[in-house]
A and B are shown apart, each in its own frame.
Chain A
Amino acid sequence: MLKLQNLSKIYSRGDIKAVDNINLDIKSGEIFGFLGPNGAGKTTTIKMIVGLLKPDNGKVFIDGIDAWKNPIDAKRRISYVPDSPEIYDKLKGIEYLNFIADMYEIPKEIRQERMEKYLEIFNLKHAVGDIIGSYSHGMKQKLVLISALIHEPKLFILDEPMVGLDPKSSFQLKEIMRKRCDEGKTVFFSTHVLEVAEKLCDRIAIINKGKIIALGTMEELRNHAEERESLENIFLELTENE
């Protein structure tokens, strides 16, 4: 579903390799966790996948489509939730959702059904008629999540999705992610919360200084570690050794 081939990004200042020749192949129906310390290259990688940052080298394939050659086709299949929800403060929540639904050409009946469902799940129904500027950080985050789910994307990409969410919404999001994968859709997300990755992900990649330093299921990662231990210990061990 998502294939990264020799993906690299060098920032023009100081020749820093933010992402260094990454290769990943993520299958349909997988929940894939992308871990790494601050500044490791997680957000840069995600931005290259969703079309916000042009790779200096390498390719991104979404459902077999070259995302940088046929961006519109690729974007129809994905949705992206950034780490900070910068959205139009002067629109009402419902207006923003309708706007996004129009972009993905969702008919009225379907959008209504999906919006109602997710507004209910994330407990945002009472506020969706208000201006987004009046929302808290968490409410904005939830609105972006709902807008990203309206077109039922094949590939759901989230950058640090748990930040700012209350425990209940965080739980609901994990449920949604699990359910999507059961339906054969794919979830790719970055996180700092190791417990989430440990419990939720089918496979995990750990990135440090732009390079993938570990990749596999939780079980495989454990086998590679010196002792069979928690993800936290594996993470610390790997990122410190680098």
Chain B
Amino acid sequence: MNRILSLIKTDLNTTFGFSALEYKFKSKKDRWQIIIFGIAILSLIPSYLLIVNGLSSLYEAYRNIGQKPMFLLNGFLYSQLIVFIFGILYVMSKYYFSNDLSVLVPLPLNPRDIIGSKFISLMVNEYLTSLPIILPFIIIYGTRGKEGILYWLYSLILILFVPVIPLTLASIIVMLFMKYTNIKGEKDLLRIIGYFLLLIAILAFQFKIQSITQNAMIEGEDFFLKMATDSNLLVRKLGLGFPPSMWGALSLSSYSSIIGLLNLILFVGVAIIIFIAMIYLSERLFFDGLIGNLEVSISRGSSKIKATDYNKKIPSFLALGLKEIRLLIRTPVYLLNSIGGVVIVPIIFIISTSMDGGQSLEGLNMLIKGNPHLISIAGVGIITLLGIMNCVGCTTFSREGKSLWIQRTIPIKAKDQIFGRVLSSLLVQFIGVGAVLCTVAYLGYLTIENVFWITILGVLGSIAMAELGMIIDIYRPLLDWDNPQKAMKQNLNVLIAMGIGALYLLGVGFLVYKLLDKVDILFIYGIMGLVFIITSFVLYMPLKKLIERQFQILE
């Protein structure tokens, strides 16, 4: 047992860098960095409050139709679904691609020890995702309904167990996936494609289940009568999509009766059983999927170079951009999060609208018919948002990791650093533009005008976003990582950049909203373009200075 505790402790320590943080807090300069970082996190609060405010209205809406528990179901469903989807991404890199494996595997440990400790560490990490989602639901429900002490006690237990089931399912799926894709040859490519398809399949399945349950629900004749008498009716019908969320919601909505207790036991019991099953399964699956990864690929020396392999001289910024793109494409974690990220958003949109039989499309069509320019404006907004969500700019220096010494000792100007790195982000953005335009075509609104404005303004907006991300990343680069996942998806710079980027976009959106219907649409496009160009220029100056400074003082 001591062994496992020690494993968990070490894993948590390296994942969250407690020892490193303690070391940092002792030095004055770094202390400031932590404080500024805290302020940056605080800047995310306005957007968050806006969402929480919206949730209060949702609570009222459910209360008015006598289906209050539905509110809780939403909380559980969202948090568990997101933990599951993130889980699929995290589990893969944590279990199979982290550098500590080469240390852990030769130690006298069972697969269940390794998986168990990694699972716990991941779970702690997932609380960072699940808590901000589930807490507002539970607090709003509890305070508005003036629920009793037992409600809060149940809540505490449920919150602790929320990530277990989705993360366990993600672990099992990934372990099976890795075992059966552990094929010699083009393993990496196969896995990237397979993984992507897996994610899409899971999402499609989820949306389909929801639409089936929704349709089945309304079909019953005495539906409205039943709804008036049974406040848990909607939860029981809709919760079938993911029963654990239903148990969570029911245990809280009926906490004062035995039904609540039974559902709580069900929620916790199933979580424990499925976790134990996963741990036992890991004994049979883990090493089978892993061994191939630890093989040292031997340089075969078969790929002889030709005279054409010696490139013509190209400008530094271009060489840097090219290097960035190569690394992005060849590192599965980077590829999934950057290009995968910009492609998946439109795909989710298409899946979610096509799986519900076109109901949501009708509403959207009505909205667009009222103002056909909305498509272009929304397209530009999405592309610009993807400019930060693609994670390329806001992790560009972090991704250098221990190789940053190369950038700092070669004679390359800060200007070229910016151009090259923005260029690599834009290349990813062009794929995003393509995906968004495909979505527009799917909706049936593809016109030359839309293509033109979405592309031009979207790219302009993306430049500013890439620069914003780079400012944050060079200010506090995360260089000491052992797993590329840490440089990208577990990098708080992404979160900070997204928060600030979202605020900025809200501002631009508000401006456009105020102007819409008052002035000519061309004028609005002009204003948007101007705002993006000015922002890019305003960000360029401090970014250049910051790169020069940080390249000198980083240790």
User: Residue of B at shortest CB range from A151?
Assistant: B411
- Complex contact A90–B331 (CB within 8 A): yes
- Complex contact A13–B26 (CB within 8 A): yes
- Complex contact A127–B313 (CB within 8 A): no
Given contacts A88-B323, A88-B403, A134-B297, contact A72 B413 (CB under 8 A): yes
Is A40 an interface residue, CB under 8 A from the partner?
A: no
Chain B, interface size category, equals: 35 or more
- Complex contact A71–B552 (CB within 8 A): yes
Per the 8 Å Cβ criterion, residues 269-307 of B in contact with A are: 296-301, 303-305, 307
Contacts of B552 in A (CB 8 A): 51, 54, 68, 71
- Complex contact A103–B411 (CB within 8 A): yes
Is A108 an interface residue, CB under 8 A from the partner?
A: yes
Is B312 an interface residue, CB under 8 A from the partner?
A: yes
Q: Which of A75-83, A182-190, A228-236 contacts B (4 or more CB under 8 A)?
A: A75-83
Q: Which of A94-102, A172-180, A205-213, A215-223 contacts B (4 or more CB under 8 A)?
A: A94-102
Is B368 an interface residue, CB under 8 A from the partner?
A: no
Contacts of A130 in B (CB 8 A): 299-301, 303
Q: Write out, one digit per residue, whether chain B residues 23-47 have a CB within 8 A of any chain A CB (1) or not (0).
A: 1001111000000000000000000
Given contacts A51-B408, A86-B405, A130-B299, contact A94 B305 (CB under 8 A): yes
User: Residue of A at shortest CB range from B406?
Assistant: A87
- Complex contact B26–A134 (CB within 8 A): no
Q: How far apart sit A101 and B405, CA to CA, in the bound complex (Å)?
A: 16
- Complex contact B309–A94 (CB within 8 A): yes
Given contacts A72-B413, A127-B299, A130-B303, contact A102 B316 (CB under 8 A): yes
- Complex contact B301–A127 (CB within 8 A): yes
Per the 8 Å Cβ criterion, residues 117-159 of A in contact with B are: 125-131, 133-136, 139
Q: Which of A12, A51, A91, A106 contacts B409 (CB under 8 A)?
A: A51
Is B310 an interface residue, CB under 8 A from the partner?
A: yes
Given contacts A52-B405, A72-B413, A103-B410, contact A129 B313 (CB under 8 A): no
- Complex contact A12–B312 (CB within 8 A): no
Contacts of B413 in A (CB 8 A): 72
Per the 8 Å Cβ criterion, residues 306-343 of B in contact with A are: 307, 309-316, 318-320, 322-323, 326-327, 330-331
Is A204 an interface residue, CB under 8 A from the partner?
A: no
Per the 8 Å Cβ criterion, residues 1-59 of B in contact with A are: 23, 26-29
- Complex contact B409–A80 (CB within 8 A): yes
Contacts of A12 in B (CB 8 A): 27-29
Contacts of B313 in A (CB 8 A): 101-102, 105-108, 111
- Complex contact B304–A76 (CB within 8 A): no
Q: Which of A87, A94, A103 has the most CB of B within 10 A?
A: A103
Is A115 an interface residue, CB under 8 A from the partner?
A: yes
Q: How far is the CB of B240 from chain A (nearest CB, A)?
A: 45
Q: How far is the CB of A226 from chain B (nearest CB, A)?
A: 40
Contacts of A71 in B (CB 8 A): 411, 551-552
User: Residue of B at shortest CB range from A100?
Assistant: B410
Q: How far apart sit A94 and B326, CA to CA, in the bound complex (Å)?
A: 13
Q: How far apart sit A13 and B402, CA to CA, in the bound complex (Å)?
A: 22
Q: How far is the CB of B514 from chain A (nearest CB, A)?
A: 46
Given contacts A105-B313, A106-B313, contact A72 B304 (CB under 8 A): no
Q: How far is the CB of B478 from chain A (nearest CB, A)?
A: 15
- Complex contact B28–A129 (CB within 8 A): no
Q: How far is the CB of B356 from chain A (nearest CB, A)?
A: 41
Q: How far apart sit A73 and B411, CA to CA, in the bound complex (Å)?
A: 7
Q: Which of A78, A107, A108 has the most CB of B within 10 A?
A: A108
User: Residue of B at shortest CB range from A103?
Assistant: B410
Given contacts A12-B27, A12-B29, A52-B405, contact A108 B411 (CB under 8 A): no
Contacts of B300 in A (CB 8 A): 130, 134
- Complex contact B405–A112 (CB within 8 A): no
Contacts of A2 in B (CB 8 A): none
Q: How far apart sit A210 and B24, CA to CA, in the bound complex (Å)?
A: 23
Q: How far apart sit A73 and B320, CA to CA, in the bound complex (Å)?
A: 19
Contacts of B319 in A (CB 8 A): 98-99, 102-103
Given contacts A68-B552, A87-B403, contact A76 B299 (CB under 8 A): no
Q: Write out, one digit per residue, whether chain B residues 378-411 have a CB within 8 A of any chain A CB (1) or not (0).
A: 0000000000000000000000011101101111
Q: How far apart sit A99 and B314, CA to CA, in the bound complex (Å)?
A: 9
Q: How far apart sit A73 and B410, CA to CA, in the bound complex (Å)?
A: 10
Q: How far is the CB of B34 from chain A (nearest CB, A)?
A: 14
- Complex contact A104–B410 (CB within 8 A): yes
Contacts of A51 in B (CB 8 A): 408-409, 551-552
Given contacts A13-B26, A54-B552, A103-B410, contact A86 B402 (CB under 8 A): yes
Q: How far is the CB of B548 from chain A (nearest CB, A)?
A: 8
- Complex contact A75–B410 (CB within 8 A): yes
Given contacts A53-B555, A80-B409, contact A135 B299 (CB under 8 A): yes
Q: How far apart sit A88 and B296, CA to CA, in the bound complex (Å)?
A: 16
Q: How far apart sit A75 and B552, CA to CA, in the bound complex (Å)?
A: 13
Is B225 an interface residue, CB under 8 A from the partner?
A: no
Contacts of A136 in B (CB 8 A): 299
Is B412 an interface residue, CB under 8 A from the partner?
A: yes
Known: A54-B552, A98-B310, A102-B318. 6 other contacts (CB 8 A): A54-B553, A72-B412, A94-B310, A98-B309, A108-B310, A134-B299
- Which residue numbers of A lie inside 8 Å of B, CB to CB? 12-13, 50-54, 68, 71-73, 75-76, 78-80, 82, 86-88, 90-92, 94-95, 98-108, 111-112, 115, 125-131, 133-136, 139
21 example contacts (A-B, Cβ-Cβ < 8 A) are as follows A12-B29, A13-B26, A52-B405, A71-B551, A72-B412, A72-B413, A75-B410, A79-B409, A82-B405, A86-B403, A86-B405, A95-B323, A99-B320, A99-B323, A102-B314, A104-B410, A107-B313, A115-B310, A130-B303, A134-B297, A134-B298
